[in-house]
Amino acid sequence: MKLKKNIAVSESGFVFDPNSGESYSLNPTGREILNLLSEGKTGEDIKGLLMDKYDVNPSTFNLYFDDFVQMLRHYNLIESEE
Protein backbone atom coordinates (compact mmCIF):
# COMPACT_ATOMS: atom_id res chain seq x y z
CA MET A 1 0.00 0.00 0.00
CA LYS A 2 1.53 3.28 -1.20
CA LEU A 3 0.15 6.78 -1.27
CA LYS A 4 -0.09 7.93 -4.88
CA LYS A 5 2.63 10.33 -5.90
CA ASN A 6 1.73 14.02 -5.97
CA ILE A 7 -0.99 13.59 -3.35
CA ALA A 8 -0.56 16.59 -1.09
CA VAL A 9 -1.38 16.25 2.62
CA SER A 10 -1.23 19.49 4.56
CA GLU A 11 -0.59 19.83 8.29
CA SER A 12 -4.25 20.68 8.79
CA GLY A 13 -5.28 17.33 7.32
CA PHE A 14 -6.40 18.71 3.96
CA VAL A 15 -5.70 16.29 1.11
CA PHE A 16 -5.53 17.44 -2.52
CA ASP A 17 -5.32 15.04 -5.43
CA PRO A 18 -3.85 17.16 -8.27
CA ASN A 19 -4.70 14.52 -10.84
CA SER A 20 -8.43 14.53 -10.21
CA GLY A 21 -8.86 17.90 -8.52
CA GLU A 22 -10.64 16.22 -5.59
CA SER A 23 -9.95 17.37 -2.06
CA TYR A 24 -10.70 15.73 1.29
CA SER A 25 -10.52 16.57 4.98
CA LEU A 26 -8.95 14.14 7.42
CA ASN A 27 -9.38 13.86 11.16
CA PRO A 28 -6.14 13.73 13.21
CA THR A 29 -5.96 9.92 13.07
CA GLY A 30 -6.47 9.85 9.32
CA ARG A 31 -3.81 12.51 8.96
CA GLU A 32 -1.41 10.45 11.03
CA ILE A 33 -2.03 7.38 8.85
CA LEU A 34 -1.49 9.31 5.62
CA ASN A 35 1.68 10.89 6.98
CA LEU A 36 3.02 7.45 7.88
CA LEU A 37 2.07 6.17 4.43
CA SER A 38 3.88 9.05 2.77
CA GLU A 39 6.94 8.17 4.86
CA GLY A 40 6.86 4.79 3.15
CA LYS A 41 5.47 2.74 6.05
CA THR A 42 3.48 -0.37 5.17
CA GLY A 43 -0.04 -1.07 6.38
CA GLU A 44 1.29 -3.53 8.95
CA ASP A 45 3.91 -1.00 10.18
CA ILE A 46 1.19 1.60 10.63
CA LYS A 47 -1.12 -0.78 12.46
CA GLY A 48 1.68 -1.70 14.84
CA LEU A 49 2.72 1.90 15.44
CA LEU A 50 -0.78 3.12 16.15
CA MET A 51 -1.74 0.21 18.38
CA ASP A 52 1.42 0.78 20.42
CA LYS A 53 0.68 4.46 20.67
CA TYR A 54 -3.01 4.36 21.53
CA ASP A 55 -5.01 2.37 24.01
CA VAL A 56 -7.28 0.61 21.54
CA ASN A 57 -8.84 -2.81 21.21
CA PRO A 58 -7.06 -4.58 18.28
CA SER A 59 -10.18 -5.95 16.64
CA THR A 60 -11.92 -2.54 16.76
CA PHE A 61 -8.77 -0.88 15.44
CA ASN A 62 -8.43 -3.37 12.58
CA LEU A 63 -12.03 -2.85 11.61
CA TYR A 64 -11.69 0.92 11.39
CA PHE A 65 -8.25 0.74 9.78
CA ASP A 66 -9.43 -1.61 7.03
CA ASP A 67 -12.45 0.59 6.46
CA PHE A 68 -10.21 3.65 6.13
CA VAL A 69 -7.86 1.88 3.70
CA GLN A 70 -10.88 0.83 1.67
CA MET A 71 -11.92 4.46 1.51
CA LEU A 72 -8.45 5.52 0.35
CA ARG A 73 -8.63 2.90 -2.36
CA HIS A 74 -12.13 3.97 -3.36
CA TYR A 75 -10.98 7.56 -3.78
CA ASN A 76 -7.95 6.42 -5.76
CA LEU A 77 -5.45 7.82 -3.29
CA ILE A 78 -3.29 4.72 -2.93
CA GLU A 79 -1.35 2.92 -5.62
CA SER A 80 -2.08 -0.74 -5.07
CA GLU A 81 -2.44 -3.45 -2.48
CA GLU A 82 0.63 -4.77 -0.70
Within residues 22-61, the interface with another protein by CB under 8 A covers 23
CB 72, min distance to another protein, A:
16
Q: Hey, what amino acid is at 44?
A: E
CB 20, min distance to another protein, A:
7
Q: Rule CB under 8 A: choose which of 11, 21, 28, 57 binds another protein.
A: 21
The answer to whether residue 6 forms part of the interface with another protein (CB under 8 A) is yes
> Phi and psi of 72, rounded to 5°?
-60, -40
Nearest to 27 by CA among 17, 14, 39, 41: 14
Contacts with another protein by CB under 8 A lie at 6, 8, 16, 18-21, 23
